[in-house]
Structure 1
Amino acid sequence: MSATKRMVVFGGNGFLGSRICRAAVARNWDVTSVSRSGAPHWSTITSSPNAPLWSQKVSWERGDIFRPAQWTSLLPHADIVVHSLGILLEADYKGVISGRESPISGLKRAFSGSHAGAHSPNPLERVRDRGEPEPGLQPPASPAQLTYEMMNRDSAILLAKEAARAGVKVFGYVSAAAGAPVLPSRYVSTKREAEAVVAREFPEMRGVFFRPPFMYDKSRGVTMGVAAMATAGSMVNGLTGGLLGGFFGAAVTKPLKADVVADAVVEALADESVKGPVEVPQLEELANRAWRKTMV
């Protein structure tokens, strides 16, 4: 790799993705973000509506993950590609906000025992779509059609396929800690499926699969309360020898600040010895290592 690493982050304008971009810029990496909306709406991911100075060093590109022709030209010169896309609930958020859809309907779809997307073909097996210069998935007609299978699994596999084709050496995937009872099991299972396929099908890339717990930041007030409860649960779980973990899973896993996870992600991507799943304790260790480097 070159001295100045070149990284492309898909979902770089999101809560965690933007912080991954920030951490990479701090190392003087060449950073490109790809998302449907381009530059972030800063008020939704930080405590200020104004763009921070570091963001001027990021190339904010527009592109639909399900339309590879819009972004494959960005990959051939990249050293690292990161997938930081996903959905927490299968709901049309704009529809919920405007009153067109009830939040209950989104929850029902998410917690449904069966789902059409669960058996959707792997992107590696898709035939070329007519009208698409490159093989890809059929983009959803509306946000209501976004499923865990599409966003958490299929989009990651599609991106990994194109990254490997372009000769990218490192592929980072933001997965999740296991066992959270407040989310459908498919949320985690689809991420695990993506990890398995990427590791198996693209061994030429160093795949790094980050499994963060609940993430918080003061810019999102609601996350602070949840983090406080999770921290208390984590402490009690430690005192009881892990007894609560068997009942509540990731709900009693120590939460991490989003900036800490971002620092850990970039540190891991820079370290050629880090490969495969990265669990919460290792995320903390990597973040501490990154922090110590700034003190030198």
Structure 2
Amino acid sequence: MSGATKKLVVCGGSGFLGSRICKAAVSRGWDVTSISRSGQPQWQNVTASSSPPAWAHRVSWERADIFRPAQYAALLTGADFVVHSMGILLEADYKGVLSGRESPISGLQKAFSASKGRPLSSSSNPLHQEQQQQQQSETQLTYEMMNRDSAILLAKEAAREKVRAFGYVSAAGGAPVLPARYITTKREAEDVIAGEFGGPGGMRGVFFRPPFMYDSSRALTMPLAGLSAAGAMVNGLTGGILGGFLGTAVVKPLKADLVADAVVEALDDESVRGPVEVAQLEELGNKSWRKTMV
């Protein structure tokens, strides 16, 4: 494989981090395909410009519903690596929000409602409930569906195509403004993917756990990153006493481009598997950057 062009498929490649993962892989000369509902990104939402950057023309931007494998399974054929870079921070009725019937505020209300969501069990395992997931994906976006089930379904298809490594963008510890289910569904996805597909001779699973990510193209992220950085400094000086209840609010934030570089570096390194925490993300990102300076 050393002389062959490596192929990466990014599900969620039109998003804030996903688009940067595509960019990082393109910079290495990889063959990159992005899969998302929208196809090509709305560039003003992920970069500082509404026009596609030069590297974007080297990515194949495909449209597909992740809960309908028939729409994208062929795109995974021959892939070396597949990355799941999808998820939601808040739950909402997808069509309701788009049509104006439901406001984003309702997402907060649903997230913190008394309902605990759908726990992972043998009867609700997405590996056995594909048709039900397809129907629900038309309307309701939940943590269980987007953070967990979509990743497991994608991993199933990747394993079927004998993909070498599967990268899942999980998250560092919870944030005080998000319900526990945001993190528990991500950890459940990690466990199922590792258990079902990561045995001896199986697909290498790499679970990225980034903290708060920032970029100058998203002005709002800059002051928030400053607050997180200050919190991380105070937390370090106090022996980590704040981490127990403030979670990622006091974890050092990372630039989105650095996390993207770390994802690509980890996929290319056979020794990296399992959870990749913040410190290792920073190390991998810097290692990737140093390679470009040689």
TM-score class normalised by the smaller sequence: over 0.9
1:234 to 232, 235, 251: 232
Q: Cα deviations across residues 50-80 of structure 1 (Å, max 9, x unaligned)?
A: 1000000000011100110000001121010
Q: Distance in 2 between matches of 1:93 and 1:35?
A: 15
Q: Cα deviations across residues 257-293 of structure 1 (Å, max 9, x unaligned)?
A: 1101001100000100000000000000001100111
Provide the identity percentage. 71
Q: Distance in 2 between matches of 1:141 and 1:276?
A: 28
CA contact (8 A) 1:34 1:62 kept: yes
Residues 111-120 or 188-197, more deviating: 111-120
SS of structure 1 residue aligned to 2:221: helix
SS of structure 1 residue aligned to 2:127: helix
Cα deviation, residue 229, structure 1? 0.7
Alignment of structure 1 residues 113-152 onto 2, 5 Å = 113-118=114-119, 121-126=124-129, 129=131, 137-140=133-136, 142-143=138-139, 145-152=140-147
Q: Distance in 1 between matches of 2:158 and 2:104?
A: 36
Q: Cα deviations across residues 235-256 of structure 1 (Å, max 9, x unaligned)?
A: 1111111111122111100111
Cα deviation, residue 142, structure 1? 4.5
Q: After the TM superposition, which parts of structure 1 deviate over 6 Å for at least 4 consecutive aligned residues?
A: none
Cα deviation, residue 93, structure 1? 6.6
Q: Cα deviations across residues 70-129 of structure 1 (Å, max 9, x unaligned)?
A: 000011210100000101100247755765324332112112242443357111223x64
Cα deviation, residue 222, structure 1? 1.0
Cα deviation, residue 5, structure 1? 0.8
Alignment of structure 1 residues 95-244 onto 2, 5 Å = 95-96=96-97, 99-118=100-119, 121-126=124-129, 129=131, 137-140=133-136, 142-143=138-139, 145-203=140-198, 204-244=202-242
**Aligned length in residues:** 288
Q: Cα deviations across residues 152-184 of structure 1 (Å, max 9, x unaligned)?
A: 100000000111011111100000001311111
Match of 2:279 in 1: 281
CA contact (8 A) 2:94 2:141 kept: no
SS of structure 1 residue aligned to 2:231: helix
Match of 2:11 in 1: 10
Q: Quick one: which amino acid aligns to residue 206 of structure 1?
A: R
SS of structure 2 residue aligned to 1:48: coil
Q: Distance in 2 between matches of 1:92 and 1:225?
A: 30
Match of 1:263 in 2: 261
CA contact (8 A) 2:229 2:251 kept: yes
Per the alignment, do residues 248 and 64 of structure 1 end up closer, same or farther by CA in structure 2, a change over 3 Å counting?
same
Q: Distance in 2 between matches of 1:60 and 1:149?
A: 26
Q: Distance in 2 between matches of 1:44 and 1:88?
A: 16
SS of structure 1 residue aligned to 2:176: coil
Q: Distance in 2 between matches of 1:62 and 1:101?
A: 25
- TM-score, L = length of structure 1: 0.92
Q: Quick one: which amino acid aligns to residue 245 of structure 1?
A: G
Q: Distance in 1 between matches of 2:95 and 2:151?
A: 24
Match of 1:38 in 2: 39
Q: Distance in 1 between matches of 2:155 and 2:263?
A: 17
- TM-score, L = length of structure 2: 0.93
SS of structure 2 residue aligned to 1:31: strand
Q: Quick one: which amino acid aligns to residue 133 of structure 2?
A: L
CA contact (8 A) 2:152 2:189 kept: yes
Q: Distance in 2 between matches of 1:141 and 1:178?
A: 27
Q: Quick one: which amino acid aligns to residue 45 of structure 2?
A: T
Match of 2:59 in 1: 58
Q: CA RMSD in A?
A: 1.7
| Structure 1 runs not aligned, ≥5 long | 130-135
